[in-house]
Amino acid sequence: MTGTRFRHPAGGPDKTSGGNGRKPAAFTALSRPGYGTICLCYLLTLTVFLSPLALVMAILFADIGPHAFRAHYFYIRTSVGLLVIGAGLGCLMIVLGASFSTTLIFAGLAFVVLTVALTLARGVTGLSRALRCRPPRNYRSYFV
């Protein structure tokens, strides 16, 4: 043979699944910012326990995409931040109340409940805006 023949084009081997030339839909949806990823982040935030995963995704995509995407990711980050700070302070009040007074325990419990309610309200509001492909109304606010 006089020339070399390559199985793959000059760009390198094809990183797609199978021979159809397309990437898997799940990997594509999670590897770039978009309304699908934003809705997934809001759903993870609504579960409260998986909100750290939503925070990681929101940090990864914080500065990518148009302004509407960045507004949603900022809104998600502040929602998770409020959840962490509020739950931490409420739990601290509960622990300190065990030594000092029952009223402090109930105040800490109320603080945790209000924090979770605020996070759920922010998650539902953000999810409804993301499903309509609109940015949050006031994404810099700490309330709904």
pLDDT at 139: 85
What six digits make up the tokens of 141? 């606010």
User: Which residues make Cβ contacts (< 8 Å) with residue 33, sequence separation at least 6?
Assistant: 61, 64, 65, 69, 73
pLDDT at 2: 60
User: What's the pTM value of the predicted model, to 2 decimals?
Assistant: 0.77
Rounded Cα distance between 85 and 31, Å, is 29
pLDDT at 33: 80
User: What is the dihedral angle through the alpha carbons of 42, 44, 45, 49, rounded to the nearest 10 degrees?
Assistant: 170
9-34 pLDDT tens trace = 555 454 444 555 555 555 555 667 88
Domain ranges of the chain: 35-131
* Sign of the C-alpha dihedral computed for residues 111, 117, 118 and 119 taken in this order: positive
Within 10 A of 35 (CB to CB), how many other CB atoms are there?
A: 16
Q: pLDDT below 70 — which residues of the chain?
A: 1-31
pLDDT at 14: 47
Q: Look up tokens 């978009």; give the residue.
A: 34
107-122 pLDDT tens trace = 999 999 999 999 999 9
